[in-house]
A and B are shown apart, each in its own frame.
Chain A
């Protein structure tokens, strides 16, 4: 049986967390994908699967929400993670933004 490793926190990790404001760490940002008439539905599904690691059914659900309702909220994350997801989606040329969850 494999041993259970004791979690280790590197000194830098704690410092980095302490250096961030509460707002940056809270999941207060929405990652939104907006509809456009140019991206293929199949491609959007593929990108959602890849970026979020979702199964095809969940990715298709959000793709259809974008298509039919004009947008879909894909995630609610901290500032840093939301930026990461928006960057990944925009790298694939999807119309994605992050908005403050008011």
Chain B
């Protein structure tokens, strides 16, 4: 994947057919962060009204983003074929949102791997899918973050 155009509030990426399929697969895993995973404070408990409000807001955000992911993948104005490659056109807001979604998959997969501090020592039938999602989400995040390098 590479950034091929950036003008004003819009940017365009070129993806191979393989990359397009991987992006669709990894986005279909969203959301991955388990509900209630993020505490409002180190001392807050799950019954704290502010914690409950935060959890509700996060659930709403994720439900909204999950629908938006499906819409994005189905929109021919966003993802279209160009000869042998694919073009993904995004506004700045959509790019930011897509980074959020990919990071949820990356961080959530890491949580499901047991939040390891070091790289995995062995792939197993249980952890392979999470490790795959963590790495593939990271691959696309790296590509999208190129936009902010300039």
Chain A residues near B (Cβ < 8 Å): 36-40, 42-43, 46, 50, 83, 86-87, 90-93, 95-100
Contact = CB atoms under 8 A, between A and B. Distances in A.
A100 B57 CA distance: 22
A87 B142 contact: no
Contact of A43 (B57, B99, B116, B134): B99
6 contacts: A36-B107, A40-B142, A42-B145, A86-B54, A95-B38, A97-B40
Contacts, number: 62
Given A37-B117, A38-B106, A38-B110, A43 B54 contact: no
Contact of A93 (B100, B116, B138): B100
A98 B141 contact: no
B138 to A, nearest CB: 7
Contacts of B115: 36
A91 B58 contact: yes
Interface of B: 33, 38-43, 50, 54, 57-58, 61, 96, 99-100, 103-104, 106-108, 110, 115-118, 134, 138, 141-142, 145, 148
B136 to A, nearest CB: 14
Instruction: Provide the main secondary structure of the chain A interface.
Output: mixed
A38 B148 CA distance: 19
Given A37-B110, A96-B38, 4 more contacts: A43-B99, A92-B103, A93-B103, A97-B41
A82 to B, nearest CB: 9
Contacts of B40: 83, 86, 97-98
Contact of B100 (A38, A86, A92): A92
A39 B108 CA distance: 11
Contacts of B96: 50
Nearest to B134: A38
B38 A90 contact: yes
B54 A87 contact: yes
Contacts of A92: 99-100, 103
